[in-house]
Structure 1
Amino acid sequence: MDRELSAAVRQANKRKRIGQLSIAAVLVLAAILGFRSLISPSISRSEIRTAVVERGPVQATLSASGVVVPEREQVITSPIQARIEQVVRNTGEQVQPGDQVLLLDRAFTQLAYDKLKDEQQMNQHKSVQMRLALKKKLNGLESELRIKQMNVSSLQARLGDEQYLLKIGGGTQEQVKQAELNLKIAQQELAQLKRDIVSERELLKADEQELGYTLAMNGRSLEELERKMQQAEVRATRPGVVTWVKNELGSSVNAGEVIARLADLSSFKIQGTISDAFAGQLQLGSAATVRVNNTDLKGTISAIEPTVKNGTITFYISLAQEAHALLRPNLRVDVYLATATKPNTLRVKNGPYFNSASGNQVFVLRVDALLLVPAQIGVSNPDFVELESGVQEGDEVVISSMKEYDSIKKIRLD
């Protein structure tokens, strides 16, 4: 037979159950907190790099590739069609004005020169012959002119005699008319002869002018060939260094073909290339920065080639320090072209984070955790990134890569 428990026993059992429930609740809570601590992400402070948000200018830039080239380069072309007979200076050798670089075979040009010289002498001889022949003809015409003049004088006297005889009755009217006709014919012949002499003199003058033009043209051609034969001893016209020379002995070159390049290595410029997608943003006179071994050199765009080659545009940058000690021919450099400037804005040092981040957000350091906050990212350059909103001056943000955590709102710092 069951007996009813006393009040003291029931109270003790109640306290016991409450205690057991409390212990169970504590254990569950501890388990939950422990599990959360196990799944909550964390990162070591030494694994990240941060930078402080500050206020200052940010210049937006386009990245391009560049190569250092001499500012002044002499391109030597072959003056004649010839063969390379001798290479006097090789690539890398220094030259002074007048130093010979190449020697070209002048045999072909010498033949052309000799032929033209013979033609010139023949034309000169022809000119002498022409003058002598015309002088002889003019002498004959002038002699004939004198005869005609005497004949006219004689006929004039004959006409006077016939008129006198007709007057005294010793002649006839027909004889007077015949004398007048003979005089008119002689006068016409005399006038025609005078016109012929004038025409012959004008023809002589025209022929002399034509032959003079031919002689002058041939003379200039002779001077040009003579100058080209002198240039076949290819010489430098300014101090510099041979950067390239066609050193294939015996090979043929055409007139106008490049056979050597000389560069003045005392000053340089930058030859840059960029995708034609940015063609509209290239402007003459725009500021540019050239980075050479972590040293920035300032410059401006001085020339832009009008044609596109293989999807790229070539441009040239004049440097403020064109003779900087770091500049070397053919040295590859990084080029940054300025497109816009924010004079006073919130900025932070550029880093890998901004190359891999997805969307406008940054990690901000808050005591012992990193918080992912929305932030509007503006213009940038290799040194700084503009943060238009989401942060304040003095905030410390992560600039190292956080690609594995880009969707996590909070990360503990160990």
Structure 2
Amino acid sequence: MDTIIKSKSNKKKYVLIALPIILIVGYVVFTSATKKRSLTIKRNEISIKSVEDNYFEDFMSFQAKAVPLNSMLINIIEGGSVQEIFVENGDEVSKGQPLAKLYNPNSELAYMQQETAIIEQINNLNKAKLDLRNQELNLSKDLIAIEHDYLDAKNLYDLNKNLFEQEILAKSEWNKTKENFRFQQERMGIIKQSVSKEKQANLVQIGQFNQSIGVMNKSLEILRTNKKNFLVTAPLSGRLSSFEPILGKNYPQNSTIGIIDDRKGYKLVADVDEFYLDRISEKQKGTVIFDNKNIEVQITKVIPEIKNGRFLVELDFISKEKLDLKQGLSFGVKLNLSEKTKTIVVSKGSFNEETNGKWIFVVKGNQAERRAIKLGRENPLYYEVLEGLKPGEKVITSSYKDYKQVEVLNLE
């Protein structure tokens, strides 16, 4: 039986047909894989800036407001309802000047009762002192009478002694005279000793009474001073602010109804982003512009407590020149963080929000190509360029939100 042998020419024919197709497909796949992704945009829709070789000044800027250097709260010491208002918010007042009058009948009645009780106690102590002095007076009278009796007994003793020695006076009468003299002598000694101890005891007791009366008089003085607290007065001279009491409204004890600014000077207070907390410290200097002049300021206090992503900073004016400032006046503070250094810089822009300083579009003619870069410090105007850019090159600094996956931008 004969065997059929296939011709090899058919295989060669298929290979010759398939090979060009494979090469074409491979080329298309290769070019698609290696071709840079591009996008066409309008030139007037983007911001193009030049890379510069310039002085970089590490500084930050923030807004601050002028506030009085010293202020004092106006507190209500004794609660009550507002009966009278003597001044208005914004008025200039002097220390001790009446601002408002309160009325609280219950407190006033309590003060009267306390005052009456203290006065009664003082009167009782004074009466006790008077009783002691009267007692001393009576003892003194008794002592005088006893001394008189002693002198009579002594005179009789001296007289009878002579008579007895002359054998004129009977012995029995002499013995009687001696006994009476001895009795009067001992009696006077005992009474004198008793009077002396009594006076010493009374002296101590009267001292205690006087001390108690002194304390009560101070209490009475404080009580009468507190009664005056229904009249709210200015604690210092200055300008009233936040002073808005309402007639008839009841204010509790120790509540605040206003502020007095002494207007002897001003300081600046600012809310600063927490990002700068580690870079700001006391005694750092900066400038503000006032009356078209640069005025030096210095940080005097940093309050590190973070609230809503911000912290408080206080600054004082270094210049001794008297500035015509007003409360609430706003200033743009430029705070120096380091000395000026010459370096390559690029203008700040929204591009950094998408790139994190790792790449940028560099413009060449009608195209902008993506390039890796490295940025360093920043200030409100510039980024410091560490790697990837040269002075004179142009870059796109506007937002890259729509170009994140693009490598080449065609500019129209």
Q: TM-score range by the shorter chain?
A: 0.5 to 0.7
Amino acid at match of 1:225: K
Aligned to 1:377: 375
Amino acid at match of 1:82: G
What CA distance in whole angstroms lies between the structure 2 residues aligned with 1:280 and 1:202?
Answer: 67
In structure 2, the CA distance between the partners of 1:399 and 1:95, relative to structure 1 (3 Å rule), is same
Aligned to 2:50: 51
The 8 Å contact of residues 48 and 394 in structure 2, kept in 1 or not, is answered as no
What CA distance in whole angstroms lies between the structure 2 residues aligned with 1:101 and 1:182?
Answer: 76
Aligned to 2:189: 187
In structure 2, the CA distance between the partners of 1:212 and 1:320, relative to structure 1 (3 Å rule), is closer
User: How far off is 1:203 after superposition?
Assistant: 3.0
Aligned to 2:23: none
In structure 2, the CA distance between the partners of 1:142 and 1:310, relative to structure 1 (3 Å rule), is farther
What CA distance in whole angstroms lies between the structure 1 residues aligned with 2:56 and 2:37?
Answer: 42
Amino acid at match of 2:199: I
Aligned to 1:394: 392
Deviations 1:230-257 (A, max 9, x none): x34x56964535435243x433222321
Aligned to 1:15: none
Q: How does 1:155-234 map to 2 (within 5 A)?
A: 155-157=153-155, 171=171, 180=182, 183-226=185-228, 228-229=229-230, 231-232=231-232
The 8 Å contact of residues 80 and 251 in structure 2, kept in 1 or not, is answered as yes
Which moves more between the two structures, 350-359 or 114-123? 114-123
The 8 Å contact of residues 72 and 264 in structure 1, kept in 2 or not, is answered as yes
The 8 Å contact of residues 65 and 334 in structure 1, kept in 2 or not, is answered as yes
In structure 2, the CA distance between the partners of 1:269 and 1:194, relative to structure 1 (3 Å rule), is closer
Amino acid at match of 1:188: I
Amino acid at match of 2:191: E
Aligned to 1:134: 132
The 8 Å contact of residues 353 and 399 in structure 1, kept in 2 or not, is answered as yes
What CA distance in whole angstroms lies between the structure 2 residues aligned with 1:111 and 1:378?
Answer: 73
Amino acid at match of 1:216: K
Alignment partner of 1:344 is 2:342: yes
In structure 2, the CA distance between the partners of 1:324 and 1:223, relative to structure 1 (3 Å rule), is closer
In structure 2, the CA distance between the partners of 1:177 and 1:121, relative to structure 1 (3 Å rule), is closer
What CA distance in whole angstroms lies between the structure 1 residues aligned with 2:356 and 2:122?
Answer: 87
The 8 Å contact of residues 60 and 341 in structure 1, kept in 2 or not, is answered as no
What is the TM-score when the length of structure 1 is the normalising length? 0.68
The 8 Å contact of residues 53 and 347 in structure 1, kept in 2 or not, is answered as yes
Deviations 1:173-229 (A, max 9, x none): 987688546633531322222332343244334423431332233124313423x23
Calculate the aligned-residue CA RMSD, in Å.
Answer: 4.8
User: SS of the residue aligned with 1:362?
Assistant: strand
What CA distance in whole angstroms lies between the structure 2 residues aligned with 1:390 and 1:165?
Answer: 143
The 8 Å contact of residues 75 and 260 in structure 1, kept in 2 or not, is answered as yes
Aligned to 1:111: 109
User: SS of the residue aligned with 1:222?
Assistant: helix
User: How far off is 1:59 after superposition?
Assistant: 1.5
Aligned to 1:84: 82
Instruction: State, as a whole percentage, how many aligned pairs show the same letter.
Output: 14
Amino acid at match of 2:93: P
In structure 2, the CA distance between the partners of 1:330 and 1:80, relative to structure 1 (3 Å rule), is farther
The 8 Å contact of residues 285 and 302 in structure 1, kept in 2 or not, is answered as yes
What CA distance in whole angstroms lies between the structure 1 residues aligned with 2:137 and 2:262?
Answer: 68
Deviations 1:40-89 (A, max 9, x none): 4444432232133232132154x878666555545322132111235666
The 8 Å contact of residues 143 and 188 in structure 2, kept in 1 or not, is answered as no
What CA distance in whole angstroms lies between the structure 2 residues aligned with 1:220 and 1:212?
Answer: 12
Amino acid at match of 2:77: P
In structure 2, the CA distance between the partners of 1:256 and 1:360, relative to structure 1 (3 Å rule), is same
Deviations 1:271-295 (A, max 9, x none): 4445768655542333467899xx9
What CA distance in whole angstroms lies between the structure 1 residues aligned with 2:397 and 2:264?
Answer: 41
In structure 2, the CA distance between the partners of 1:343 and 1:111, relative to structure 1 (3 Å rule), is farther
In structure 2, the CA distance between the partners of 1:349 and 1:86, relative to structure 1 (3 Å rule), is farther
What CA distance in whole angstroms lies between the structure 1 residues aligned with 2:406 and 2:211?
Answer: 96
User: How far off is 1:144 after superposition?
Assistant: 1.3
How many correspondences in the alignment?
373
What CA distance in whole angstroms lies between the structure 2 residues aligned with 1:100 and 1:143?
Answer: 59
Aligned to 1:149: 147
Q: How does 1:272-291 map to 2 (within 5 A)?
A: 272-273=270-271, 280-287=278-285
User: How far off is 1:105 after superposition?
Assistant: 2.0
Aligned to 2:21: none
What CA distance in whole angstroms lies between the structure 1 residues aligned with 2:156 and 2:304?
Answer: 90
What CA distance in whole angstroms lies between the structure 2 residues aligned with 1:406 and 1:311?
Answer: 29
The 8 Å contact of residues 297 and 317 in structure 2, kept in 1 or not, is answered as yes
Amino acid at match of 1:186: M
The 8 Å contact of residues 89 and 242 in structure 1, kept in 2 or not, is answered as no
